[in-house]
Structure 1
Amino acid sequence: MMVALFYYKLEKFGGIRAVKDYVKQALSDLGIRTCEFSWKDHKYICKLRDFTACKTIYGNLLSKLLDYTCFRHLDTQLEQNNILTFNIHGEWLFLPTKLVYIHDPGLLVSTFFRHSPLSIVRRAYYIPHNIISKNLVNLYGKSLVVVNSIFSATQLKRLTGLDCQVLYPPVDTHKYRNCGLHDKPWVLTISRFSRFKQLDKVLEVAKRVRDAKFFICGGVNSEDELRYFWYLKRLIDEEKIKNVFLLPNASEQIKTYLMSRSKAYFHPKEDEQFGISIVEAASSGLIPVVHKSGGPWMDILDGKQGLYGYAYDNLEEAVSIVNYVLRQYLKLVNDLAPYNRAKYFSYDKFKIRLYNLLEQVM
């Protein structure tokens, strides 16, 4: 058996690249060969696609039609030769293969649909676009669509009507397992320095929990991320926040050390699709403190307060919970056993779930 992996371009998508690498590794462990196809194989048409995408709504639509035109014939040929096809970048690369993995349903919908305005003239501009888009998205109904969390599944169903199944991203739960004493009143956050990650909330909590230190470790890999990093740095300086430390592009050694000494992991983003760093932190013994929304709440904490971690609705709750976790860590870590929950998202579990999905489409 062979599986053909389709994707857009991975150099700008670290998390998606990781999923692709894990899929490839899992298939290899299962004795299944793979081959790969991406836009890098269509250099000049790829430039046209990049030029049209995100310029106008019809430019976005043209980019999806280019996806379908360039890859559909190849997809059909592969299926005729009993090669299973798997689009692992379903919100960016529009191709209804046998299996389609969608990481962010909101992103899929935002590139396809626009609300029709009240103006008759503008409505006339939007309506044809939305009709064509709906017909294209419906083509995914012939695929086995897979998402990264129960939250993403409910979001995809609500936004598009598509049914799907869940394949949690694999987490290396052995990497940080029981890696230290967790003896400092430290709070850790690991995230890209992106404005979409809402890291300014960490500063707001830190201002109200003065006896703790807050560390933000994250990648700075673009101009936008660099600007956001300097924005946070300026806020820290202007408001004289002495207990927040920004660590851009921190080494693995630094992250491991912080994991080993911190007691709480604070995740500020609302409506996050999943949150691999939360599971990594739980596997090391940190107690997760997440917003009561999205995958962190619905999937990682299983929608239960105080079972695997804690969730907050607002800033005041976040401050109260962080204080509570830091004071009662030794008792809570034994009661909650965060590592046991982290094992549910391990690579071995991922491999079993992936094989079960393959059986459904073979």
Structure 2
Amino acid sequence: MAESNIPDFGDQPFYDDEILMHNSNPTNEGNVPLDDQSVHNEGQQQQSTSTSKSSVGPQGSSCSFLKRKEKASGSSSTHGPSSELVKYFESNFIIDDDKLDILQWCKSKQDCFPTLSIIARDILTTPVSTVASERAFCAIDDRFRFDPKSLIYYTSMANGIALWAWISATVALLLRFVWHVINGRRSRKRAVGFFHPYTNDGGGGERVLWCAVKAFQEELPDLDCVVYTGDHDASPQTLMARALDRFGVKLIHPPKVVHLYKRKWVEETTYPRFTMIGQSLGSVYLSWEALCSFTPLYYFDTSGYAFTYPLARMFGCKVICYTHYPTISVDMLSRVRDQNSMYNNDALIARSVWLSRIKIIYYTLFSWMYGFVGSCAHLAMVNSSWTRSHIEKLWKIPDRTKRVYPPCDTSGLQVLPLERSAKPPKIISVAQFRPEKAHTLQLEAFSVALGSLDANLPRPKLQFVGSCRNKSDEERLQNLKNRAVELKVDSDVEFHKNLTYRDLVKLLGGAIAGIHSMTDEHFGISVVEYMAAGAIPIAHNSAGPKMDIVLEEGGLQTGFLACTVDEYADAILSIIEMPETERLKMASAARRRASRFSEQRFFEDFKAAIRPILNHVSK
């Protein structure tokens, strides 16, 4: 390391006025303070010598400051010892070198002027300003004036830093994503994971879930069955008990459970607008949580979250799905184009031509995305002819699409007697309290039927049976009760929430008719249950009920199809006014038709569909 150019003046850490004024020369070794006379003599000596000293101005150089003629060595004051400062001024130095190093010179004189040398060291080594002296007191310095180029420079720098931060964050997220995917692929377990965030919805989808679990347990006993659920109170034992109590499905052994904590991202209340795309993208985030927690060999979606399929394939899973209905269909596009207001087409949008056009564009883009993600499934099982026709158009994988009718408990319901009391006649409605189930239409049709009922006929009762998934369903149920009061039929209407399977069977065994009103119902398990239990169905004239269920059996009518309030009211009156023999004949034909959709038929078709993919993986 290069040596410093600053001379070494010793280790004196400080100096003070006392040392400066009273540091005696060699003749005053005792450092005795000067008396008043000495001070007076020193003052005279300074005055007498001041004329011979060179004046040093503030702009003089260090050389001119030291250009003095040194006096003779014997010219010291005759008045006794003098201070170091007086001694310095009594000395005359002649230095003609313009390149004088003043620090080195002060060092050479530190024996004679120790205190002054320290002062010189401290002052001359202090950093000085780079501002010129003539500008030191300027009010405005050009360095601080506004420069547009500087603003552009700093703005560009800030943008660059922000861009760098964004790129860094993106790369970090991408690396984390890749790491989780690689880790998941390496740690895949020999298991089938059922992606079913709501295991307490009580609908036909949950019945399919438990029957599918049982089918896998029977087909591959050594394969673990894992259920991804957002119900935090769910456990293997409680789910096994629920499958038996609610649906009559007895599992071979309890399934394993993986709890999900991001289920709010698939809640419809999270997305007041753009609900479809919001829930679809939210399902990807939820499945990310599921697959990072547990990566199975087979990923089985039983809830219709098609946007999760590409992610499951990235994790190395074989993707299987049971699709109850397409998230979007040609029928939905037609309703928006015709500006028809429904639960999935707000009245505000339906009244506006421009908003309807924008929504058509939105639906068109979404249908393209839905087709792409759906095509990632290795096996797609659908529940009806109507669903298959739409899935084949959207996903374009007809060779991997199989129709498997959903499991309906026809065997347990077919033992119920067809003869039943008609005092009062009971009409049952079994459906979740969701907006698309159109419970209000049923209530209004029932009110119209009561208004047209012959006074000699018994007054019927309407029984609503369903489950509530969340707060929105609870509010919908309360609104339905309020509507019954407004229509003045509340005394003729019953509400049963979250019933057990045994209680449901009991109610079905006492009903003469079952009502269903969902437009484009993908299949309609409840309609089949009505028919198997001996209740004549009144179903919506669309989709599954129209194409697969309420069809003639042996040339005999099996039920009624309706669309409007008046059509439903007419069907209700027809069944109430129907003679008992005719009712029994129609109920018997409906029961025979329902046997086509039995639970046993589901197991046979389901196992036949999954065997090729299971055998392919085992090889």
TM superposition score normalised by structure 1: 0.78
Q: Any idea what the Cα deviations from partners look like across 1:110-136, whole Å, max 9, x if unmatched?
A: 9xxx99x979xx89x979975983674
Q: Which residue of 1 aligns with 2:482?
A: 234
Relative to 1, partners in 2 of residues 1:63 and 1:224: Cα closer, same or farther, differing over 3 Å? closer
Q: 1:349 is matched with which residue: 601, 608, 618?
A: 601
Relative to 1, partners in 2 of residues 1:360 and 1:55: Cα closer, same or farther, differing over 3 Å? farther
1:204-283 pair list within 5 angstroms = 204-210=444-450, 211-241=459-489, 244-249=492-497, 250=499, 252=501, 254-283=503-532
Relative to 1, partners in 2 of residues 1:4 and 1:295: Cα closer, same or farther, differing over 3 Å? same
Q: Which residue of 1 aligns with 2:79?
A: none
Equivalent position amino acid for 2:324 in 1: H
Tell me, yes or no, if the aligned pair for 2:304 and 2:324 is still in contact at 8 Å.
yes
Tell me, yes or no, if the aligned pair for 1:91 and 1:108 is still in contact at 8 Å.
no
Equivalent position amino acid for 1:328 in 2: P
Tell me, yes or no, if the aligned pair for 2:202 and 2:467 is still in contact at 8 Å.
no
Q: Is residue 2:344 matched to residue 1:155?
A: no
Q: 1:5 is matched with which residue: 169, 183, 193?
A: 193
Q: Which residue of 1 aligns with 2:210?
A: 21
CA distance in 1, matches of 2:264, 2:575: 52
TM-fit CA distance, 1:86: 3.2
Q: Which residue of 2 aligns with 1:168?
A: 405
Give 3-state SS (helix, strand or coil) of 2:436's partner.
helix
CA distance in 2, matches of 1:303, 1:151: 18
1:1-362 pair list within 5 angstroms = 4-11=192-199, 13-15=201-203, 16-32=205-221, 33-36=223-226, 38=228, 41=258, 46=262, 54=271, 62-63=281-282, 66=285, 84-91=298-305, 94-95=308-309, 97-106=318-327, 133=369, 136-137=372-373, 139-140=375-376, 143-163=378-398, 164-180=401-417, 181-184=419-422, 185-210=425-450, 211-241=459-489, 244-249=492-497, 250=499, 252=501, 254-302=503-551, 307-326=557-576, 327-335=578-586, 336-361=588-613, 362=615
CA distance in 1, matches of 2:373, 2:284: 11
TM-fit CA distance, 1:337: 2.1
Equivalent position amino acid for 1:206 in 2: F
Give 3-state SS (helix, strand or coil) of 2:571's partner.
helix
Equivalent position amino acid for 2:563 in 1: D
Tell me, yes or no, if the aligned pair for 2:266 and 2:279 is still in contact at 8 Å.
no
Q: Any idea what the Cα deviations from partners look like across 1:71-103, whole Å, max 9, x if unmatched?
A: 78999x86xxxx555333342661253422222
Stretches of structure 2 lacking an aligned partner (at least 5 in a row)? 1-189, 231-257, 311-317, 338-352, 451-458
Equivalent position amino acid for 1:197 in 2: K
TM-fit CA distance, 1:324: 2.2
Equivalent position amino acid for 2:430 in 1: I
User: Bigger CA drift: 283-292 or 55-64?
Assistant: 55-64
Aligned residues: 347
Tell me, yes or no, if the aligned pair for 2:550 and 2:559 is still in contact at 8 Å.
yes
Identity, in percent, stands at: 20
TM-fit CA distance, 1:47: 6.8
Relative to 1, partners in 2 of residues 1:108 and 1:18: Cα closer, same or farther, differing over 3 Å? farther
CA distance in 1, matches of 2:471, 2:285: 28
CA distance in 1, matches of 2:370, 2:596: 36
Q: Which structure's CA Rg is the greater one?
A: 2
TM-fit CA distance, 1:198: 0.7
CA distance in 1, matches of 2:405, 2:539: 18
Relative to 1, partners in 2 of residues 1:39 and 1:93: Cα closer, same or farther, differing over 3 Å? farther
User: Bigger CA drift: 239-248 or 101-110?
Assistant: 101-110
Q: Which has the higher contact order (CA 8 A, sep 6+)?
A: 1
CA distance in 2, matches of 1:353, 1:282: 21
Give 3-state SS (helix, strand or coil) of 1:281's partner.
helix
More strand by share: 1
Give 3-state SS (helix, strand or coil) of 1:265's partner.
strand
TM-fit CA distance, 1:351: 0.7
Relative to 1, partners in 2 of residues 1:256 and 1:103: Cα closer, same or farther, differing over 3 Å? closer
Stretches of structure 1 lacking an aligned partner (at least 5 in a row)? none
TM-fit CA distance, 1:360: 3.5
User: Bigger CA drift: 321-330 or 230-239?
Assistant: 321-330
TM superposition score normalised by structure 2: 0.48
